[in-house]
Amino acid sequence: MSQPHSSTDLFAVPTVTEEEMLGFLEEYCEKDVPPSPVQRLLEWLRDPFESDQELEAGNEGQKERYRLNPLCVSLGIFLLIAFANFIYFSFWSH
């Protein structure tokens, strides 16, 4: 006498369509995609302490605005002042 198949039969053939399997595969492999050079640059320029501050505030689900790394902002301002001094003393100081 054979027993009817149950829904918890471990040896039953799964019924997954090709589209569902492709969706599962894309979702699984999505994490393995390396970031693009633009994404790496944006991550490098991002404020390193922003994610820690957001976790402390408890706003994990909210989309925060992009904030530059303060060191990059300071370096940019310094280079702008140095370039302005170079232009001033090279051409207009006579």
Per the prediction, the chain carries an average pLDDT of: 77
**pLDDT, average across residues 1-12:** 62
Q: 46: which strand partners?
A: 68
In whole angstroms, give the CA distance from residue 70 to residue 54.
17
pLDDT digits (tens, 9 = 90+) for 37-65: 888 888 888 877 766 555 455 555 556 67
**Top-confidence residue, 81 or 14:** 81
Which pLDDT score is estimated for 67?
78
Angle formed at CA 63 by CA 61 and CA 69, multiple of 5 degrees:
120
Q: What share of the chain is helix, strand, coil (3-state, %, to 5)?
A: 60, 0, 40
In whole angstroms, give the CA distance from residue 69 to residue 77.
13
Which pLDDT score is estimated for 55?
46
**pLDDT, average across residues 4-32:** 78
**Where in the chain are the domains?**
18-92
CA R_g for the chain: 28
